[in-house]
Structure 1
Amino acid sequence: MAAPLSVALIGFGFVGSTFHAPYLTTTAGLELKVVSSRDPDKVKEALAPFDAKPQVVGSPLEAATSDGIDLVVIASPNDSHFALAKAALEAGKHVVVDKPFTLDSAEARELARIAKQHNRLLSVFQNRRWDSDFLAVRRALEDNLIGPLVEFESRIDRFRPQVRDRWREQALPGSGLWFDLGPHLADQALLLFGPPTEVSATITTSRPAAQVNDWAQVILHYPATAHQLALTVTLHASMLSAAPTPRFMAHGVAGSLLKQHADGQESQLRAGVSPLDEHFGVDNDPLLHYQQEGDPIAIAPPCGTQARYYAEIRDAIAGKVENPVTPAQATALMVLLETAQQAAASGQRLPLALNDDERKAWSQTVR
């Protein structure tokens, strides 16, 4: 068997320790060799259950360019993504960047160019493509359960009235709720429906002490064609939603779909459940299929499989499968995120300005 890929993880905050470290240490063919963190004791304690003992270094740049490292995973604050990814690619490393990819589409396109120049894999950790709720909805739409679609809504709402002392909620580049949760919502919508023609948005601050946006409603507009009905896709995120709201709703000419509760993999990881546990990713909340008459049909969702992302990264580096999240897809997503910001600032519907490669990257959709 081939030797495992040596991995360096940059950043051991919430995202690095909760998501990346457990998946990296439980995916066959990957070996976590280096972690960049200012708290070696935290790293040691967190990785003890996985029997992983990486070298801990204080310098992110040292981790990004370390000799003997094949894959660099960047889970540091958003404003450091570009510089660290650039350094790693130029040092000959394959690179995974946590979402959001970069601060803007210009940085994203430059990283894509550098990766191509050095013939290195570059990908973005869009783990929620493998959430149970999304997988259930996607399968139902692919099976055409509710006929031609006219309206789709995707929400990630939370109730956090107190502003936390963390960089994501401070007035820093790449902070705010839209750059935190927007990449998940928008990536899933692009996977389902491809790029919209226009985008409109309201992105604002709702909590009195908030320094950055903490409420967002972004609408993707898809016009009617000779073969499709007009479709409106609403992406919503809030930090002041105490009442439960559905994770997904979809309405078509033959019925509706409702998924009330979100995938539970994050909650399991936070509770210390290993991705190798037989119950990991199991979702007991059914997808409800409403038709014109009768009670809704309950459809069991598939198991969530976020760990599959790193298995596919491993195999993509070996040339066995395609990159699960390509630079073109990641760049198109950045264009959508910044277009929504511009639409919110201007109060206008704005077109999505993608190049041909970025638009073609979403050819396999249910629309």
Structure 2
Amino acid sequence: MHVPIKTGLCSYGHSGYVFHAPFIHLHPGFEFTAIVERSKRLAQQRFPDVKVYSSVAEMIEDKSLQLIVVNTPNSTHYEYSKAALMAGKHVIVEKPFTVNTAEGEELIKLAKEKNLMIIVYQNRRYDSDFKIIRRVVEEGLVGDVLEAEFHYDRFKEELSYKKHKEVAQSGTGVLYDLGSHLIDQALQLFGVPKAVFGDVRIIRKDSVVDDYFELILYYDNLRVRLKSSYLVREALPAYILHGRRGSFIKSKSDIQEALLLKGLLPEGADWGAEAPHEWGLLHSEIDGEVVKKYLPSTNGNYMDFYNGVYAALAEGKPNPVTPEQGLDVIRVIEAGFKSSAEGVVVKL
């Protein structure tokens, strides 16, 4: 094992507490060295060895740090990632990678010049529900996929207590937030589409940011529909695949976030295991026989992301989520907004 990678975390809000700190702390390839907390010392209570800084700029100046995790509001991703790269640090930046393609292109160019790595945090690739979807597609269990529909819905009329999420500026709203997950998953399965249609709306009473969207991604023989709404009390299945030989239907059921919110650490063989009643339904034809059965999901585990980061930084393995992939997501988001505003299908 190499010397652990000294890592600094830019925030200890929801994402820091749930998605990053527990994994950096447990992974033997990383040393959870520093964090930014302006007033509270919550991280230090849980991780006593971590050094607390009062600002991101101050932490980035720490010469001992090799990796900075940018898990701050979307509008700051470009600024903090650029500062970390300029200081000679590798960067993990949460989705969305940036709020526009120009910022993303600049960061990619800078990282290459500095011989540093940017890794985009796309944790939903490591959800149990998406893992089984990937398996169904890659193993051709429904034949050639002709139609796919992915949902990420909530029921929440009230505005978020996170004030930065409810400000009308580039990078806020559900298409940048939950849409980044759905688009990344679609691109992982099917590649970059030829064109995009978007319908992006505001439906909550007091909202000034989009909280509803529907995107249609156009491929040669495939249409992918991505939908999210904050006013869905009775949720539809999260994943629907229809292919030449059959269908697969699956709920959104990864349990990791709920466990992490309770303060549990991602340990043990049963971490991220789905309950059998959440398994997806396969109705297809396999080896000439029609089958209708529930498929067990593989356990979800966000540690797989950090395993990939460590392998890339310490062992020269491929970047698990490249900034180019992050940029493709932004291109689809921008096309979705343009399509919605102009009422046209936008070619990519």
Same fold (TM > 0.5): yes
Residue equivalent to 2:281: 288
Residue equivalent to 2:152: 156
How far apart are 1:307 and its partner, in Å? Answer: 1.1
Residue equivalent to 1:262: 253
- Which of 129, 133, 137 pairs up with 1:133? 129
- Which of 185, 203, 219 pairs up with 2:182? 185
Q: How many residues align?
A: 342
Residue equivalent to 1:278: 269
1:350 aligns with 2:343: no
Residue equivalent to 2:77: 81
How far apart are 1:6 and its partner, in Å? Answer: 0.3
Unaligned runs of 5+ in 1: 224-229, 353-367
Aligned-pair RMSD on alpha carbons? 1.5
How far apart are 1:33 and its partner, in Å? Answer: 0.7
Which TM-score applies when normalising by structure 1?
0.90
How far apart are 1:311 and its partner, in Å? Answer: 1.4
Query: Amino acid of the residue matched to residue 242 of structure 1?
Result: R
Residue equivalent to 2:17: 17
Alignment of 1:25-44 (within 5 A): 25-44=25-44
**212-221 or 30-39, which moves further after superposition?**
30-39
Query: Amino acid of the residue matched to residue 184 of structure 2?
Result: D
Distance 1:261 1:173 in 2: 28
1:233 aligns with 2:224: yes
How far apart are 1:295 and its partner, in Å? Answer: 6.9
Query: Contact 1:149–1:251 at 8 Å: present in 2 too?
Result: yes
Alignment of 1:325-364 (within 5 A): 325-352=321-348
For residues 29 and 246 of structure 1, do their structure 2 counterparts lie closer, same or farther at Cα, with a shift above 3 Å needed? same
How far apart are 1:183 and its partner, in Å? Answer: 0.8
- Which of 275, 295, 299 pairs up with 2:295? 299
Query: Contact 1:85–1:111 at 8 Å: present in 2 too?
Result: yes
Query: Contact 1:268–1:280 at 8 Å: present in 2 too?
Result: no
How far apart are 1:314 and its partner, in Å? Answer: 1.1
1:313 aligns with 2:309: yes
Query: Contact 2:8–2:35 at 8 Å: present in 1 too?
Result: yes
How far apart are 1:44 and its partner, in Å? Answer: 2.4
How far apart are 1:165 and its partner, in Å? Answer: 3.0
Residue by residue over 1:234-278, the C-alpha shift from the partner in whole angstroms, topping out at 9 and shown as x without a partner, is: 111110000021010000111100002321111111122211143
Query: Contact 1:36–1:56 at 8 Å: present in 2 too?
Result: yes
Residue by residue over 1:147-190, the C-alpha shift from the partner in whole angstroms, topping out at 9 and shown as x without a partner, is: 11110011101111111232112223311111111110000000
Query: Contact 1:146–1:254 at 8 Å: present in 2 too?
Result: yes
Query: Contact 1:10–1:64 at 8 Å: present in 2 too?
Result: no
Distance 1:83 1:216 in 2: 27
Residue equivalent to 1:361: none
1:175 aligns with 2:181: no
Query: Contact 2:68–2:91 at 8 Å: present in 1 too?
Result: yes
- Which of 72, 83, 105 pairs up with 2:68? 72
Query: Contact 2:132–2:297 at 8 Å: present in 1 too?
Result: yes
For residues 313 and 212 of structure 1, do their structure 2 counterparts lie closer, same or farther at Cα, with a shift above 3 Å needed? same
Distance 1:172 1:259 in 2: 34
Query: Amino acid of the residue matched to residue 119 of structure 1?
Result: N
Residue equivalent to 1:146: 142
Which TM-score applies when normalising by structure 2?
0.95
Residue equivalent to 2:192: 195
Residue equivalent to 2:207: 210
Equivalent position SS for 1:73: strand
Unaligned runs of 5+ in 2: none
Query: Amino acid of the residue matched to residue 337 of structure 1?
Result: I
Query: Contact 2:157–2:205 at 8 Å: present in 1 too?
Result: no
Distance 1:270 1:349 in 2: 40
How far apart are 1:222 and its partner, in Å? Answer: 0.6
